[in-house]
Amino acid sequence: MRQFECINGEMVIGGIPATKIADKFGTPVYVTDESALRENFRRINKAFSRHMPTHIHYACKANTNLAILRILKQEGSYIDAVSIGEVETCLRAGFSPDRIMFTGVCVSTKELEAVVSKGVLINIDSFSEMKRLAGIKSRIPISIRVNPDVGAGHHDHVVTGSRKSKFGIPLADILKAYSESLDLGLIPVGLHAHIGAGVQEIDPFVKVTDVLVSIAKEIEEKLRIELEFIDIGGGIGIPYKPDEKPMDVDLLAQEVTARIKAGCSVETVAIEPGRYIVADTTVLLTKVVDIKETPEKNFACIDAGFNTLIRPSFYGSYHHIAVANKFDASGEVIYDVVGPICESGDFLARDRLLPKLNEGDVIAVYDAGAYGFSMSSQYNSRPRCREVLVYNGTANIIREMETIDDILRHQRIPSRLMV
Indicate if 224 and 320 belong to the same structural domain.
Answer: no
Indicate if 94 and 196 belong to the same structural domain.
Answer: yes
> Does some domain include residue 48?
yes
Q: Secondary structure of the chain in the HEC alphabet?
A: CCCCEEECCEEEECCEEHHHHHHHHCCCEEEEEHHHHHHHHHHHHHHHHCCCCEEEEEEHHHCCCHHHHHHHHHCCCEEEECCHHHHHHHHHCCCCHHHEEECCCCCCHHHHHHHHHHCCEEEECCHHHHHHHHHHCCCCEEEEEEECCCCCCCCHHHECCCCCCCCCEEHHHHHHHHHHHHHCCCEEEEEECCCECCECCCHHHHHHHHHHHHHHHHHHHHHCCCCCEEECCCCECCCCCCCCCCCCHHHHHHHHHHHHHHHCCCCEEEECCCHHHHHHHEEEEEEEEEEEECCCCEEEEECCCCCCCCHHHHHCCCCCEEEHHHCCCCCCEEEEEECCCCCCCCEEEEEEEECCCCCCCEEEECCCCCCCHHHCCCHHHCCCCEEEEEECCEEEEEECCCCHHHHHCCCCCCHHHCC
Indicate if 266 and 301 belong to the same structural domain.
Answer: no
Phi-psi region of 137 (alpha: psi -120 to 50; beta: other; left: phi over 0): beta
Boundary-marking domain end, from 251, 278, 305: 278
- Domain extent for 316: 5-32+279-408
Indicate if 229 and 124 belong to the same structural domain.
Answer: yes
What was the pLDDT predicted at 232?
95
Boundary-marking domain end, from 278, 303, 331: 278
Q: What is the pLDDT along the chain (419 residues), one digit of tens a residue?
A: 899 999 999 999 999 999 999 999 999 999 999 999 999 999 999 999 999 999 999 999 999 999 999 999 999 999 999 999 999 999 999 999 999 999 999 999 999 999 999 999 999 999 999 999 999 999 999 999 999 877 554 545 445 555 677 889 999 999 999 999 999 999 999 999 998 767 888 998 999 999 999 999 999 999 999 999 999 999 999 999 999 999 999 999 999 999 999 999 999 999 999 999 999 999 999 999 999 999 999 999 999 999 999 999 999 999 999 999 999 999 999 999 999 999 999 999 999 999 999 999 999 999 999 999 999 999 999 999 999 999 999 999 999 999 999 999 999 999 999 99
Indicate if 339 and 390 belong to the same structural domain.
Answer: yes
- The number of domains in the chain is 2
What was the pLDDT predicted at 131?
98
Indicate if 132 and 200 belong to the same structural domain.
Answer: yes
What was the pLDDT predicted at 276?
96
What was the pLDDT predicted at 201?
87
Indicate if 168 and 304 belong to the same structural domain.
Answer: no
Q: Which of 6, 60, 342, 385 is catalytic?
A: 342
What was the pLDDT predicted at 160?
58
342 is catalytic: yes
Rounded CA separation 67/399 (Å)? 9
Boundary-marking domain end, from 241, 256, 278: 278
Rounded CA separation 349/334 (Å)? 11
What was the pLDDT predicted at 158?
45
